[in-house]
Amino acid sequence: MKRILCIILTAVLILTPASIASAKQTHGDKEHNQKTTHEQEKQKIKEKKQSFKIDGSPVIKYERYKLPINPVVKGMGANVSYVKSTGVLTVTKDTTTIVIDFKNKTVTVNGVADTNSSIFTSKSSKKTTVLIQYIAKILGVKVTVDDDKVTVTTPVLDYPTNVTVTPVGDSVVANTLNTTTLYMTATANIIAGQATGGKAELYVGTKLVATDNAIAATDTTVTFTTSDGTPTNEELQAAVPTSGIVTVKLYNASSQCVTSVAANPTLNVDYTAPTVTGVNSAVYSVSGSAITISISGNSTVSDKVDVTKISLYDTTLDKTYTLTDAAGTGSTGTINADNSLSIKLGSADQIGLAGFGSTTVFLNVNAGSLLIDSAGNKSASFSTVVSVPVTITQ
Q: Residue 38: its pLDDT value, please?
A: 39
How high is the mean pLDDT of the chain? 86
Distances, alpha carbon 220 to alpha carbons 101, 160, 188, 216, in Å: 30, 10, 9, 9
Nearest to 168 by CA among 257, 233, 86: 233
* Complete DSSP assignment for 222-271: EEEE---SS--HHHHHHHS-S-EEEEEEEE-TTS-EEE--SSPPEEEE--
Q: Comparing 1-10, 104-113, 180-189, 260-269, which segment has the lowest mean pLDDT? A: 1-10
Q: Residue 142: its pLDDT value, please?
A: 84
Q: Residue 217: its pLDDT value, please?
A: 83
* Angular region, 355: left φ>0, alpha ψ -120 to 50, beta rest: left
Q: pLDDT band at residue 128, thresholds of 50, 70 and 90?
A: confident
How far apart are alpha carbons 393 and 330 in whole angstroms? 21
Nearest to 120 by CA among 58, 193, 64: 64
**Overall pTM surpassing 0.85 (yes/no):** no
For residue 321, pLDDT over 50 is answered with yes
How far apart are alpha carbons 114 and 107 in whole angstroms? 6
Q: Do 379 and 299 meet the contact criterion of CB atoms below 8 Å apart?
A: yes
Per residue in 173-230, pLDDT (tens digit) is: 999 999 999 999 999 999 998 888 889 999 999 999 999 998 988 899 999 999 999 9
For residues 364-387, average pLDDT: 93
How far apart are alpha carbons 236 and 110 in whole angstroms? 30
For residue 4, pLDDT over 60 is answered with no
For residues 45-71, average pLDDT: 86
For residues 302-308, average pLDDT: 93
Q: Residue 11: its pLDDT value, please?
A: 45
Q: Residue 34: its pLDDT value, please?
A: 41
For residue 99, pLDDT over 50 is answered with yes
Q: pLDDT band at residue 359, thresholds of 50, 70 and 90?
A: confident
For residue 312, pLDDT over 90 is answered with yes
Residues of the chain with CATH 2.60.40: 161-269, 275-393
Phi and psi at residue 67, to the nearest 5°: -125, 110
331: Cα separation from own chain's centroid:
36
Q: Residue 45: its pLDDT value, please?
A: 61
* Complete DSSP assignment for 161-188: EEEEEEEEESS--TTEE-TTEEEEEEEE
- The runs of H, that is alpha helices, within 243-383 are 347-352
Highest mean pLDDT among 48-57, 256-265, 291-300, 317-326: 317-326
Burial tier of 88 (Cβ tally within 10 Å: 0-12, 13-18, 19+): middle
For residue 91, pLDDT over 90 is answered with yes
Q: Does CATH place domain 275-393 in 1.10.3470?
A: no
For residue 73, pLDDT over 80 is answered with yes
Count the Cβ atoms, other than its own, within 10 Å of residue 144: 14
Distances, alpha carbon 283 to alpha carbons 16, 24, 81, 366, 392, in Å: 78, 72, 83, 17, 6
Q: Residue 254: its pLDDT value, please?
A: 76
Percent residues over pLDDT 70 in the chain? 89
Q: Comparing 49-58, 262-271, 273-282, which segment has the lowest mean pLDDT? A: 49-58
More confident residue, 323 or 257: 323
For residues 244-255, average pLDDT: 91
Q: Residue 137: its pLDDT value, please?
A: 84
Task: Tell me which of 1.10.1740, 3.30.70, 2.60.40, 3.30.1490 is the CATH number of domain 161-269.
Answer: 2.60.40
Provide the 8-state DSSP code for 331: -
For residue 105, pLDDT over 90 is answered with yes
Q: Do 343 and 309 meet the contact criterion of CB atoms below 8 Å apart?
A: no
For residue 126, pLDDT over 60 is answered with yes
3-state secondary structure of 57: coil
Q: Comparing 101-105, 147-151, 217-221, which segment has the lowest mean pLDDT? A: 147-151
How far apart are alpha carbons 131 and 180 in whole angstroms? 52
Per residue in 24-57, pLDDT (tens digit) is: 344 444 443 444 333 434 444 677 788 898 887 7
Distances, alpha carbon 391 to alpha carbons 292, 344, 357, 360, in Å: 10, 16, 9, 9
For residue 347, pLDDT over 90 is answered with yes
Q: Is the dihedral of CA 221, 222, 226, 230 positive or negative?
A: positive
For residue 349, pLDDT over 50 is answered with yes
